[in-house]
Chain A
Amino acid sequence: MLETRDILETINMIDNENLDVRTITMGISLLDCMDENIDKACQKVYDKVCLSAKNLVKTGEDIEEEYGIPIINKRISVTPIGMVSAPCKNKDITKFAKALDKAADTLGVNFIGGYSALVQKGFASGDKELIRSIPEALATTERVCSSVNIGSTKAGINMDAVKLMGQVVKDTAELTKDRECIGAAKLVVFCNAPEDNPFMAGAFHGVGEADKVINVGVSGPGVVRAALTKCGSHNISELADVIKKTAFKITRMGQLVAQQASKRLDVPFGIVDLSLAPTPAVGDSVAYILEEMGLEGCGCHGTTAALAMLNDAVKKGGVMASSRVGGLSGAFIPVSEDAGMIAAAENKYLDITKLECMTAVCSVGLDMIIIPGDTEADVISAVIADEAAIGMVNSKTTAVRLIPAVGKKAGETLNFGGLLGYGPVMELRKGSPSKFIGRGGQIPAPLQSLKN
């Protein structure tokens, strides 16, 4: 028989500590949808997505009901459209975004990711057109998410793409300024992008993946924090142990859901992403975990060390709980999506410099950071370059999701609502990087030895 204590612990996690499965994401390959005729290609994309994922939402809801676990999102990721659209010359590529949006609407999924291009070493045919079309694609659709990979440890950083993306981020915000600049919240610039990430906005279905695959992203910052609250005066190694055990339990639940979803949909199980993904709900915050460890405010000195320990312990606990692990796996530190981060930013504990530093040890990067609307494109490019350099040198994924708040200055707020949250406009550093960014070219891939 099961232990009473264990049963009550699980129920308490779901009831009071916001334990949930954050997303079941179906990855779908669109490589067989290419066509020189863009309308035919879009129709093939729509048909394949709708056919492949026709039972996704229903299956998610069934598992939710049967197992009593909240499954917050059901989503889809597809092959980077930059590849699928390559044969369609000089056409309006945003038609692909519209086809994806329509498919997402038909299926009832809340986001569909993959309006993407992988340009870490150069632009292939169609990549530049796709990148240039991102602002319009995100402004004219609701559910489509976009990402561009501009660097990797093996290829270095494509500085021409970095320059381009600064302007694209700015234009995307500008085109959606009547909707709190929401477009920019659906656009991620990556270095070392994972090909099996189930989390938005950066999800896409890698070319090395199977035709269809089920990836699951777990969550549970509230559970980790609650476990730490009970620790009293434990030392750090004991805290790390508690986090590992908690992450194990969270991941086991994700693994169960992933296996069930895979079996019922008859789609191979891909990976479980062991992420601590916060939401703006109080009690579902990564920042509060760091504060629970003994920091006065997230962002004060000591935050990077605490985050490094948290990130590592989450992975160690989760790896044993799942047969296959992947995606971003670690602690997310999005500002506007995390109640504790928002408070820390408002109280000036957290600024862009400390956040950048934290990204060297977290699982993703500069995420959901609202910046002044009058920030120059080159400055955004330079932020992207800095962040990509951290990822490139440390062989980890880093990403940038900045939202220029058009017409707003530091100190004002932007409110997206829902899971995307709200946050204060944060100040960037002074000085112009224009000449550096204007040079273009490629930062060569870094040496993998002599690591000092």
Chain B
Amino acid sequence: MKAVITVVGKDTVGILAKVSAVCSEYEANVVEVSQSVLQDMFAMIMLVELRKKNFGELSATLEKLGDENNLKIHSMHEDIFNSMHKI
């Protein structure tokens, strides 16, 4: 499955490294990364490919990582965005 990981928060050193480390831990291959600054906020979006069974744990670990670093990290199935924003 493909999942979209979004990271939003104040820009700090090593965000990308920390998130990528978690991805590699759960064998999630990063397919695409985009990064932007919106209203002084750092926003990174990653598209990753991983095994379905790893998704629950990846999602929980990333959320915890977000809490520890004052970031909002969401991981969601790619299909949600495709169905909501594409006809």
Contact = CB atoms under 8 A, between A and B. Distances in A.
Interface of A: 1-4, 6-11, 15, 65-69, 249, 252-253, 255-256
A66 B2 CA distance: 11
Contacts of A255: 83
A4 B84 contact: no
B6 A256 contact: no
A3 B75 CA distance: 16
Given A2-B4, A3-B85, A8-B43, 19 more contacts: A2-B45, A6-B85, A7-B6, A10-B80, A10-B84, A10-B85, A11-B8, A11-B76, A65-B59, A66-B1, A66-B56, A67-B76, A67-B79, A67-B80, A68-B59, A68-B74, A69-B76, A252-B84, A253-B83
Contacts of A252: 83-84
A1 B34 contact: yes
B82 interface: yes
B71 to A, nearest CB: 13
Contact of A2 (B1, B38, B72, B82): B82
B75 A68 contact: yes
Interface residues of B, number: 28
A8 B8 contact: yes
A449 B55 CA distance: 58
A249 B59 CA distance: 24
A8 B47 CA distance: 14
B85 A4 contact: no
| Majority secondary structure of chain A interface residues (helix, strand, loop or mixed) | helix
A277 B40 CA distance: 35
19 contacts: A2-B4, A2-B47, A2-B81, A2-B85, A7-B45, A8-B6, A8-B38, A8-B43, A11-B8, A15-B72, A65-B56, A66-B1, A66-B55, A66-B56, A66-B77, A67-B79, A68-B59, A68-B80, A256-B79
A76 to B, nearest CB: 26
Given A4-B34, A8-B38, A69-B80, A249 B6 contact: no
B41 to A, nearest CB: 10
Contacts of A10: 76, 80-81, 84-85
A66 B56 CA distance: 7
Q: Of B6, B8, B55, B83, which is in contact with the most chain A CB atoms at under 10 Å from its CB?
A: B83
A7 B4 contact: yes
A230 to B, nearest CB: 14
B47 A4 contact: no
B53 to A, nearest CB: 10
B36 interface: yes
A92 B70 CA distance: 59
